[in-house]
A and B are shown apart, each in its own frame.
Chain A
Amino acid sequence: MAPNAHAAPDADGVAGSEDIVAVRDVHYATSGREIFKGLDIRIRRRLVTAIMGPSGTGKTTLLRLITGQVEPNRGSIVVDGQDLGRLNRTQLYALRRRMGMLFQNGALLTDFDVFENVAFPLREHTDLPESLIRHIVLTKLHAVGLRGAATLMPAELSGGMARRVALARAIVMDPKILIYDEPFAGLDPISMGVIVRLVRHMNDALGITSIVVSHDVRAISILADQTYLLSEGTVVAAGSPQELRTSPAEVVRQFMDGLADGPVPFHYPAPDYQAQLLSREGRR
């Protein structure tokens, strides 16, 4: 399996109709550090696509690029047929109404209870009558198993529950794309199983496209249809989780097997160990 095997653009540079997100030759640097060096990724409709990679490889930054929260220095990002670089604020917000995002910590609005958190997008974007809002919110909360927690405040929820509420909020406007940022981080096995099941269920039942950023190899193996492995600012492997698991590539093996050292070095770049120990210069 060659790196970027699934990521090469068409000859005419236009994403196929099956692609809902096309990231083409994206370069992005922040605070003097180059995060992406010519990134190419295609995300196909109605599939669960996992973005994996070691910590600090820019997985969350990629989500921020796809959602238009930051702009690439070079390259283009097309989402649902619209080039993000050509959209003004109003057009970008219109596009975001077709997207839902689940933040790592849930990002629930702490002033509102669970019901109002889920109702928030409906109240902001629609003039639906209260009875209909109640019906929709309770339906979404029921889908994530938290109809009974409607009156709880975010501070009263466990990490797993908060993410399920955030998921209910993310699907309340019936988006085409659902984006998950580290949805399994810090969860106990039961909560993680619930979230894995919900992500798959929502994707299949609602016919949406899911993009999951995670470094949980086991969860992604169960969940994802296609996977991109990022490292050093580019895609180093792409394919199904099964293809990645059998890949002979050293960097893939290191990540999938959880090896401490390898192409991704254990040590952060540093001067010679012995020379530094013998030096009299403080911490450096």
Chain B
Amino acid sequence: MEAYKATWYQFTEHPDADSCWSLSVGPDGRIYAAACAEGTPGGIVKLVRYNESGDRLDYLFDLDQVVDDPHDSGRATQCKIHYSFAPSMKDGVLYMATHLSGPPIDLPAYSPWRFWHDEERCFRGSALLAFDTAADEVLWYDTLIPKEGCRCLLIDEERGLLYALSYPRDHFIIYDIEKREGRDIGRIGSVNAQLLFLDRRHRVWTTDDYGHLVRYDPETDRLETSPFALPHNPQFQSGWHSVFYDAAPSPDGDCVYASTWIAQPRLMRIWPNEGEWGRVEDLGPATQERDPTLPVNMFLDHCGGLTFAGDGQLYYVASRWRDERYNPLPADHKAREGVVWRLDVDTLEREEVARLERPDEFAQYVSRGAVDHNGDLFFGHVGPRPTGIFKVWMPERRKRPDAHLPIRIWG
């Protein structure tokens, strides 16, 4: 194994931060991350940026303040930005939309179903912000989805549209940036896919609860559902909950590499422009074998952080853990770890290039990954507070200038 150096950056200035659900490269080539606090009553998300000259994190703003939805209002809070960074190269704006789940400051938990009709408690709505990365300025904000959170966001820059999935109702939302108007196309299911991606025909793809591809076609203005279930382990999975977790576009834009949001996530390659429903290649399980009779913790058995790097290969993080039968790691080996894999997209052979280790806790769960304009890798981590992000220093031979381009346009 060629070990790349990995460095841990903790959200020390946000001690309540228990998750970094979103991490993205901005249109400026720098790395942005969401320091989310969903487990603390009244918790809020702070926008963070990696400062490459100082090799540290800068804390840009508190979301509750910039969108005037204070953390102590008694409502569910602006606690996180889920998979909802959407960079626009045209104007240098990083769009971001907030998500719910953090409890009101005076309650121990929040249920969006329970408080839906409670005007004092109900989440005000997902706040959509336009952040000018050149001027370091919030240009404007709006309520993207009243009462609901935004699970994931995508920008179709050519058409000036943002696409989102709402939570908890799992509706497909289209937002016209110029008109500042949203439109609800309808419900998909219950689970919530964690990702949307765009194809060359401006169609937007996601999944339903049962692992079927769902596609919005602007030509028909309708959602349509594939009759086929995405790859899954037939031994104990049925396709249910095999929704998209993460997906990275290939640099040529011909296909995406995706992982599913279920314990023992599956890797796949999807060619959306081929055939009626695209072509799906099953690349197998992303994580280790394990006891199929146990509904394994989704925070233990996980794969995320898919991103292409300057060398044109796919990188992602899959968890690995000690299991007496299936993976009896030696006693001096960490019991859980996030393994950074490099997948050669020509041979589909994968190579372990780094392990993510934080000094105080395990770091097996990675949400999103990105490559900055210098060609280094970054990963958002979800774990004990305060959580943070990892930087994986790419070898010089695998870097290139502006490695973040073409930029990923979905969270």
Say whether A and B bind each other. Answer: no
Which chain B residues have a beta carbon within 8 Å of chain A's beta carbons?
none
